Structure 1
């Protein structure tokens, strides 16, 4: 085969294509790594969401207890002042 400029160009294109096909495995590995990281982040987000929901429920219960006490506090504040003994 005579190496003309046209044949050299075809050979260069073929080399690029072959090198690109060899790189597919690398991309698959990179995508697998990225997917693994995304899965890990998803688990962390789910855990954080559960913790936030638990904290929200605890806060709501605390608010209910405070609301229940508020009526009693208002009664005590509205009661006439007691005279000290002595």
Structure 2
């Protein structure tokens, strides 16, 4: 079979159509992936904010424990009081 100009144009058109169709599929795939990445990024940022908030709460709790520890030591080392009566 000899390739005529018409057959050659048809073949090139078919190859181009398949190639462009593949690009559209990749474009859709990339759009889906980007959407998922955006969603994951939002979740990671939210988790980081929650972790920072928890860290600050833990630091405040540790400071409070340190304050109470000093008071407990004072009470433990204070002389015993004799009960009345």
Secondary structure of the residue aligned to 1:80 is: coil
- Number of equivalenced pairs: 78
The alignment's TM-score, normalised by the length of structure 2, stands at 0.77
Deviations 1:32-81 (A, max 9, x none): 00000000000000000000000100110111111111111000000122
Show structure 1 runs of 5+ residues with no match: 5-10
Deviations 1:8-41 (A, max 9, x none): xxx6x98566423311101000000000000000
Show structure 2 runs of 5+ residues with no match: 4-10
Q: What is the aligned partner in structure 2 of residue 21 from structure 1?
A: 20
CA RMSD of aligned residues (A): 2.2
Q: What is the aligned partner in structure 1 of residue 57 from structure 2?
A: 58
How many angstroms apart in 1 are the aligned matches of 2:43 and 2:2?
59
